[in-house]
Amino acid sequence: MKVEKYLKLENIKKNFRIRGGINRVLRGVNLEIRYGDRIGILGRNGSGKTTLVKIIGGVMKPTEGKVIRRMKVSWPIAFQGGFQGSLTGFDNLRFICRVYGVPWKDKVEFVKEFSELGRYFYEPVKTYSAGMRARLAFALSIAIDFECYLIDEVAVVGDRRFQEKCKEELFEKRKDRSFVIVSHQPSHIKNFCNRFFVLFEGRTVEFPTFEEAWKFYSSL
C-alpha cells in the first residue's frame, strides 16, 4: 500500500498577546504541500514568515486551525538555540540522533566533515565561534533525513563558500524532497522553487509564476 505523503495547513490562525491588545499575525492560512513541492513564500519583515515556519514545524501551536503532517517534516533548519554550551558538537549530534531515532554512528563522519570543525568537534560548543556554531547547526539539520525541509532564509548564515556547500547539499542532492522556504529576498525562491506564494495580511496568496509573485510582492 502506498502511503500518500503530504502536509496540510487548515485555516491556521495565530494571535500574539501584546501590551494593549492582540496582534493577529496569521489570519487563516490554507496550504497543501504535496511530496516534491518546493514552496517559496515571500513576505515582508514582520509579516509572520517565521511564525508560519514554526507552526509548520510544530515548534509553535496555532491559536486556531490544524496542521496535518503526513511527511517527515524537519525542524526549521540551522537552528542554533538548542546548543548547550558545555556539550561538544559530538554530544549534540548524539542527542539529535537519539531524539529522531537514528543511529548516531552512521552520522559522525558526515557531520564532522560537513561542519569543518576538525578537532573542535570534540570540544564544548561554548568554545566555538559564531561561524562554527552555524556550520554545526546546519550539518545537524541535514544529518537527519527528512521528507520536507523547512528553511527560514534569514536564519541561514555562514560565509559564501559554506553557503554554496549548503545549497548543493540541500537543493541538488535532495531536490526530490519537499521544501518550504520563506524569505524576503527573491534569490533561492526564484531559482529553486516550483510554487510561489506571498504572505500578505496574515494569509498566503499563490501565484502561477515567480514573476507574478514578485510583482505583487514588490507593489506592497
Partner 1 sequence: MRDFFRSLKIQLRVIYALMMREIITRYGRENIGFLWLFVEPIILIVGVTFIWSYIVHREAHGFPVATFIYTGWISNKLWLTTSSRVMAGLQANLPLLYHRNIKPIDIFLSRILLEITAMTGVFMLLGFVFVMSHVIEPPHSYFHIVLGWYLMCWLALGFSFFVASLNTLTNDIVQKVWGPVSLGLFIGSGTFFLVEWLPPEIRPYALLLPSVHNLEMIRYGFFGNQMHPYYDISYSTSFNLFLTFIGLVMFRLATEKVRVE
Residue ranges that bind partner 1, judged by CB under 8 A? 54, 57-60, 73, 75-76, 79, 81-82, 84, 86-87, 91, 94-96, 98-101
What is the distance between the alpha carbons of residues 111 and 136, in angstroms, rounded to a whole number? 7
In whole angstroms, how close is the CB of 208 to partner 1 at the nearest point? 32
Closest to partner 1 by CB, 59 vs 205, is 59
In whole angstroms, how close is the CB of 11 to partner 1 at the nearest point? 20
In whole angstroms, how close is the CB of 84 to partner 1 at the nearest point? 5
Residue in 143, 190, 137, 184 with CA at minimum distance from that of residue 162:
137
Question: Residue 8: CB partners within 8 Å, gap ≥ 6?
Answer: 31, 32, 33, 66, 67, 68, 70
Residue in 107, 114, 127 with CA at minimum distance from that of residue 158:
114
What is the distance between the alpha carbons of residues 185 and 213, in angstroms, rounded to a whole number? 12
CB atoms within 10 A of CB 213: 24
Closest to partner 1 by CB, 95 vs 200, is 95
Strands 21-34 and 178-183: unpaired
**Strand order from edge to edge, sheet including 64-69:** 21-34, 6-18, 64-69
Closest to partner 1 by CB, 95 vs 214, is 95
In whole angstroms, how close is the CB of 97 to partner 1 at the nearest point? 8
- End-to-end Cα, the chain, rounded Å: 46
Closest to partner 1 by CB, 92 vs 204, is 92
What is the distance between the alpha carbons of residues 1 and 23, in angstroms, rounded to a whole number? 45
In whole angstroms, how close is the CB of 137 to partner 1 at the nearest point? 11
Closest to partner 1 by CB, 126 vs 215, is 126
Closest to partner 1 by CB, 12 vs 42, is 12
- 24 within 8 A of 13, measured Cβ to Cβ: yes
In whole angstroms, how close is the CB of 194 to partner 1 at the nearest point? 26
